[in-house]
Amino acid sequence: MRKSEYFKTLQGNVLQKILSFLPNPSRGEPNSESENAPSEAIEKKAGMETVEIVCYGIGKVGSSPIAQYQLALLLLLVDSISSSLSAKGAKIETGTIVIRFYDPVLSKMETDVLTSLGLVVIPTNEQCKRKVERPTLFYMPHCARAMYNNVVWANWGSSLASVAILGNSFSTYGDKSNLEKKENRIQMESILKIIPYVEEIRVADNFTVSGIFNDFSLHLFKIPAEKGLGAAPPELKPDNVGELIVS
């Protein structure tokens, strides 16, 4: 995958946007300790900012080729981010880049494999409602619409400026064909309300295997400084979450 035209294209536009969004670890402020991160894996460096990546819904990496490709892309992205930051003078050490993950379909063996690769398991099902404390990239390929909706809802307001989502295209969700069903509209209230403030960078669907990264985009949020976003849409209730990952 590293030598594929797909990854080269992604490096040319999406990666540069991600690098502009994420903090330079050598220039950040000290971080407070995170209750979810094992101290032996996440070392907070004085005067350095952690690069935070959250992966929801990666799938059965032990048996699904789709999940394996998507995991491979995540690891390649992290490697490229690390190399680019190093080239800019950042000192990349253990805990500089933190990748947290959660998917209830993962077996213990799959979870152990991911942690052996340096990822940090999120211990509870957050229902994708993680409130960010620093610039955070959410890696969510082909997740359910309610999952993206909950990320947006949880960070509604100025915090959305610190959120980037790499996943299904929000503009596609806003197409008329996706709005015909009331259930769809309910599951996407936060997405639909935020679309006017989204900078969406589409990823060309030129991967050699079809159906892996189609309809894939990076989303950044441009929050109006003066008027803000207004009141948050209603929180999704359990009866309306549809495909939302549950325990």
Indicate the burial class of 124 (C-beta count within 10 angstroms; 0-12, 13-18, 19 or more).
Answer: exposed
> Phi/psi of residue 225, each to 5°?
-65, -35
- For residues 138 and 163, the answer to whether their CB atoms sit within 8 Å is yes
pLDDT value of residue 23: 86
The tens-digit pLDDT sequence of the chain (247 residues) is 888 889 988 888 899 999 999 987 765 443 434 444 443 344 444 345 789 999 999 999 999 999 999 999 999 999 999 999 888 877 777 778 999 999 999 999 999 999 999 999 999 999 999 999 999 999 999 999 999 999 999 999 999 999 999 999 999 998 867 777 777 788 899 999 999 999 999 998 899 988 899 999 999 999 988 788 999 999 987 665 655 555 3
Cβ-based neighbours of 30, under 8 Å, separated by 6 or more = 44, 45, 46, 47, 48
pLDDT at residue number 40: 38
Give the total residue count for the chain. Answer: 247
Q: What is the pLDDT of residue 31?
A: 40
- Give residue for tokens 């409130």: 131
Please state the separation of Cα 101 from the chain's center in Å.
10
Q: What is the DSSP letter of 45?
A: P
pLDDT at 103: 96
Query: What's the longest Cα–Cα distance across the chain?
Result: 52
157: which 2 tokens?
A: 């307001």
Q: What is the pLDDT of residue 231?
A: 92
